[in-house]
Amino acid sequence: MQRILIIEDEKNLARFIELELNYEGYETKTCADGRNGLQMALNETWDAVLLDLMLPELNGLEVCRRIRQANKTIPIIMITARDSVLDRVSGLDSGADDYIVKPFAIEELLARLRSLFRRVEALGAAEVTTLTYKDLSVELESCVVRRGNDIISLTKREFDLLVVFMSNINIVLTREVLLNKVWGYTTGVETNVVDVYVRYLRNKIDSKNDTSYIQTVRGIGYVMR
């Protein structure tokens, strides 16, 4: 049975989500503040975390960052009433895997959870645990990226994007394909976010005097070659 932690301070909403997830066969626990929620996330085993953005004690962005700093790869869906592009990007950039805006239909939340679990299962089923291209290497299980002997520090989103590129060498990927593979089919993020993260990734993996690993294909998307 998959275990889901709900960190949400709106008691009625938390109870509603808990009852619906229990009905679908998930095991759940709830917490109403960020500080205790963080400790529960770090000290127990979870298959997913539903994390409200506005929480007492510690806000959702900080909870998410600290979970990722502890090298926890638990799938995280951020829940919030804020719907601006900046808020969505901030949530995703802090390490969240997906973002859902209140009010939402429970069917949408369930679909996003199923999508996350499918992606986790696909990564777990991969036979190759290390991807290499030129002097870049990516260790999938440990999430370690190296250029030569140097370790490169990436956010979770940058890491996922690099994995997609290195799994599709010489294949041109559109922004829509990258958005779907890295952010998920049900996300509300716009395709220009892909451009932002490709720029972040280039700044970290490229050498100043060499051609970028990731090439822009004008009018189409990007390719690693």
Q: Quick one: pLDDT at residue 117?
A: 86
Cβ atoms of residues 179 and 187 within 8 Å: yes
What is the total residue count of the chain? 225
Q: Quick one: pLDDT at residue 85?
A: 65
Q: Quick one: pLDDT at residue 213?
A: 92
Report, at the CATH architecture level, how domain 3-124 is classified.
3-Layer(aba) Sandwich (3.40)
Q: Quick one: pLDDT at residue 68?
A: 86
Q: Quick one: pLDDT at residue 192?
A: 83
Q: Quick one: pLDDT at residue 88?
A: 65
Phi (first) and psi of residue 107, to 5 degrees: -65, -35
* DSSP H or E stretch at residue 110: helix 106-124
Q: What separation, in Å, do the N-terminal and C-terminal C-alpha atoms of the chain show?
A: 42
Structure tokens at 137: 């290497």
Cβ atoms of residues 123 and 115 within 8 Å: no
Report, at the CATH architecture level, how domain 130-224 is classified.
Orthogonal Bundle (1.10)
Q: Quick one: pLDDT at residue 187?
A: 54
Q: Quick one: pLDDT at residue 185?
A: 56
Q: Quick one: pLDDT at residue 123?
A: 61
Q: Quick one: pLDDT at residue 166?
A: 92
Q: Quick one: pLDDT at residue 81?
A: 82
Give the domain ranges of the chain: 3-124, 130-224
pLDDT per residue rounded down to tens, the chain (225 residues): 899 999 999 999 999 999 999 999 999 999 999 999 999 999 999 999 999 999 999 999 999 989 988 877 889 999 988 766 666 667 677 788 888 888 899 999 999 899 888 877 766 654 457 889 988 999 887 788 998 888 999 988 899 999 999 999 999 999 989 988 888 755 566 778 899 999 999 999 998 777 899 999 998 999 998
